[in-house]
Structure 1
Amino acid sequence: MDSAGLFERIRQQIRRRRRMSARLLIVSSVVTVLGFSGVCGSIMLEMRRSAQELSRQTQENLASTISADVNRNIELYDLSLRSVISSLALPQLAEVDPTIRNLILFDHSVTAQHFGQIQVFDAKGDLVLDSATLTPERVNRAGEAFFRVHLEQPDLGLYISRPMQHRGAYALVLSRRVVAPDGSFAGVVAGSIRFSYFQELFSRLRLAPQDVIAVLARDGTLIMRTPFDPELLGTNMMARIGMDRMLGQRHGWFAGEGKADKIPRMYVWADSSRPLIALVGRSWSDVFGMWRHEALRIGAILLGLAIIVAGFTVFFIREIDRRAEAERQLEELATTDPLTGLTNRRKFDLVMDREWRRAVRSGTPIALLIIDADHFKSFNDSFGHPAGDQVLVGIALCIADSANRAGDCAARLGGEEFAVLLSGLQAAEAQGIAETIRRKVEVWSDGQAGVTISIGLASMTPAAGQHWSMLFEAADKALYAAKDLGRNCCVVAASRRDLNLVA
């Protein structure tokens, strides 16, 4: 082979190698792009699932908060109805003055802006007692659903009506049956919760324009909805939202369309064991809104994929930590009285119920002190509210300093009234603590215009089937006795027989 042929052969080999290198480069580039695309696709699918899960958790937390608030108020109102029914059974009630009778019957009634007055109807449906007046109007509610249902179903318990116009406003009527001593039907005790309560509750929430919150009864009846639509209230949503599934699972979610706007949403419920169930719906466009935005960014900037993913991971971890801390702080604020630092009434009721159940199981005694500052209104009028607040803080410090065992619970019930739960103590032991508190307040208040306290004390070993409200009422009556005896003293509920009379 001559030199020209050898040179041509070398040139061809170089061209083949160059073409091979170009193919390898193209293949490598394609493989690299496909690899990055696969990684991006996998990450984006995972991010889509996380966005859905995060939205579900957020909606579940919101639904749980709404459900707890609504059902707590239902339970509080039901306690008021039960208290009225218990007081109606007192044989001396018919002999007392009407003013005193109303005080006895409705002393523990829940009073708030959105709660209607409690009314008592006799067996014929005639209004006989009203918490708002001593001279109730002449009306008959025998034809109302809340009256008929108790007449026809003796074992119903608490009845929550469908949404209805009640005294000129949308409301829910809550009612219970009154039973005569012989077990016959003696009438109905009823009250109402206005829809303004739900509207105020929902107005405090920051919702997206397409978010929906609904409150449902267990039979599927729509109680309340935001955005508010009066035409949908009272309609049965059983078939549309699958109430059977909701009642079968305590919490969960499903996909569906709005009945009015046909917008596809994720619907989440948190606790289907309550009388009213909160259902929170968020449109899928809002659920995946952030994910779509990030998908566009990550698709446009493949080289920054790892940094973006790392940045979002750190962001979400910090966000979760921040939310966890915020929830902890909110829970602490929700269970603590802001002025005195003691437990508030809501938390005290939960502790009381828990310790009562524990005492029933273990057969141990439980004592309760109810404390009230003497002549506090006069002190406030004379020295002003800042001085009154200082007195309340001082009393709280004396209480906390004296009731400092691990199982003790000191709480401010409201205004100038406090309570101390003393687990495992008989009346004599609890009286020693009560006297310690009273003396400390008396000594401390020498420089505070001589403010003193009165204490009502009750102690008992609870039995199965008894409710802690009987202990509370006994201590409350003992407090009134202390007031009658001249204040600045402690009165002990006389005996277990007296406690049973209270019940």
Structure 2
Amino acid sequence: MRLRLLMGQPGRSSAKLLVWCSIATIVGFSAVCGSMMLDMRRSEQALALRSMENLATTIDSDISRNIELYDLSLRNVANNMIEPELAGVSTRLLHLILFDHAATAKHFGAIQVFDAAGNLLHDSATDDPKPENRSDENYFSVHRDNPNAGLLISRPGLHRGAYAIVLSRRITGKDGAFLGVVVGSLRFSYFHDLFERLSLAAEDVISVIRRDGVVIMRTPFDLDVIGKDLSQSPGVKRVLVEQSGSFEGFGAIDPIKRLYVWRDSSHPLVVIVGKSWTDIFAIWRSQALRVGGIILALIAFVAGATMMLAREIKRRGRAEDKLEELAITDALTGLRNRRKFDQVIEQEWLQAQRRQEPLALLMIDADHFKTYNDMFGHQAGDQVLVRIATSIAGAVERARDCAARYGGEEFAVLLPGVSADMAFAIGENIRTSVEMLSADKWATTVSVGVASVVPNETLQPAHLIEAADKALYEAKSRGRNQSVATPREHLSRVA
């Protein structure tokens, strides 16, 4: 039984090895592909970050350049207003001097000059401005009360009939006195034209905020968002503190998770570019799905081929086991045959010698079998041998024990690790079992020869067989149907 399991093991081991190799291959291939996909994902994120940084830098540069250009015009007007040489100049000439170098563009509003009381003095759009007072405007009061306000950018709103942001500067006399305010405007149309030139995804966001967190402009355009204070938003707080950087999070206006980037927040207006993760990974996701589908198909193919080959290996292994079983089994009795017994006794002898444990052998022979066979025929004789084999198999239950048909009506039972007394008891158990069958006229008794020895270098397996065989002949000579054990001294003489 043990050898049969050992012989069946290579087939199962081969199937298991194939399955484990396939699993290792699938896992390894999946790990490599997964690593590549993660690298591609990181590359997509890095590319998106660089693109957004470039976009933010470009927009910021354009806005800053236009504000700086317009601010130069405001400064020029403010400086000219305090020149004493212009005190006696005519209104028309003064208009030309003040606004000759003023920046002009379709998105720039007219530059106006208000005196210390808020009354309109000059307007770049006309030589004869209508009376107007702006002393109640926020920008007027800020410049009046704060000499160091510098360039002031107002909240977005209606200015002279158009949505715009007001840019203003204080006119300070040479003695530091407040002389009035220079005011200009940048219309929203500038931002609309600027953003329309960009190719943006549906969920992309570009926000232009003031240094205090107030939204000046945003695309997609939403009038309800314009002028909103986002200074308490965690992301905007970072923008107002750090000069450049990026962060990920949900928008302050909508619940879409985006990557946000800003550059050079030292400018009066800060540009924040936001792109949703869905858009960032859109191309990567399609590639991942395609590659993932291919990988799954390959995994399914490899798994199917592996299972088919494993089944084939197991089937062949079972067939080989069956052939091996037939090769070592006696066809009549179902016990091991002589060839198998010779292999097992050699193996067990070496193990017993190495472990220094006893090895016992029973030689069993059917009494008067030839007479019985001649009297009742070969078929009846075969039935007797099968019954004897059944009795032997019932008494020998350990996996290491080997019960074999030794030849003709003779049987052998090899009992590893069994002393002479225990072997004798097993032999008697077999003999009495057969004797009970002999009550029927279709049965016969057996004689048993018992020998047990601890193998050493002076003994060979043939010595154990010879000793058990002599004990069997002794049982025959004493009248049959009995068990005889060979004394240890006899084995010594044989050696």
3-state SS in 2 of match to 1:242: helix
- 1:244 alignment partner in structure 2: 237
| Match 1:46 to one of 19, 39, 47 | 39
- Give distance in 2, aligned partners of 1:157 and 1:25: 79
| Match 1:258 to one of 231, 251, 264 | 251
- Give distance in 2, aligned partners of 1:181 and 1:283: 53
Q: Is 1:68 aligned to residue 58 of structure 2?
A: no
Percent of aligned pairs sharing the same letter: 54
| Match 1:131 to one of 124, 127, 147 | 124
The correspondence of residues 11-90 of structure 1 with structure 2, limited to 5 A, is 15-90=8-83
- Give distance in 1, aligned partners of 2:24 and 2:165: 65
1:325-361 CA-partner distances (Å, limit 9, x unpaired): xxxxxxxxxxxxxxxxxxxxxxxxxxxxxxxxxxxxx
- Give distance in 1, aligned partners of 2:42 and 2:229: 32
- The question of whether the paired residues in 2 share the 8 Å contact of 1:80 and 1:109 is answered with yes
- Give distance in 1, aligned partners of 2:172 and 2:257: 49
3-state SS in 1 of match to 2:226: coil
- Give distance in 1, aligned partners of 2:249 and 2:222: 19
3-state SS in 2 of match to 1:108: coil
- 1:296 alignment partner in structure 2: 289
Displacement, 1:12? Answer: 6.8
Distance 1:169 1:241, change over 3 A: farther
**Farther-moved stretch of structure 1 (226-235 vs 89-98):** 89-98
Q: Is 1:162 aligned to residue 155 of structure 2?
A: yes
Structure whose CA Rg is larger: 2
- 1:214 alignment partner in structure 2: 207
Equivalenced residues, count: 298
Displacement, 1:304? Answer: 12
- The question of whether the paired residues in 2 share the 8 Å contact of 1:76 and 1:110 is answered with yes
What residue ranges of structure 1 are gaps of 5+ in the alignment? 306-503
3-state SS in 2 of match to 1:205: coil
- Give distance in 1, aligned partners of 2:239 and 2:233: 12
Displacement, 1:99? Answer: 2.2
3-state SS in 1 of match to 2:183: strand
| Match 1:228 to one of 197, 212, 221 | 221
The correspondence of residues 55-454 of structure 1 with structure 2, limited to 5 A, is 55-302=48-295
Amino acid at match of 1:79: L
- Give distance in 1, aligned partners of 2:28 and 2:199: 41
Q: Structure 1 residue runs of 4+, over 6 Å off?
A: 11-14
- Give distance in 2, aligned partners of 1:151 and 1:303: 72
Amino acid at match of 1:97: S
3-state SS in 1 of match to 2:127: coil
Displacement, 1:294? Answer: 1.4
The correspondence of residues 465-484 of structure 1 with structure 2, limited to 5 A, is none
TM-score, length basis structure 1: 0.57
1:138-195 CA-partner distances (Å, limit 9, x unpaired): 1100000111110111111110111111011110100000012321100000100000
What residue ranges of structure 2 are gaps of 5+ in the alignment? 299-495
TM-score, length basis structure 2: 0.58
- Give distance in 2, aligned partners of 1:23 and 1:141: 90
Amino acid at match of 1:66: I
1:467-493 CA-partner distances (Å, limit 9, x unpaired): xxxxxxxxxxxxxxxxxxxxxxxxxxx
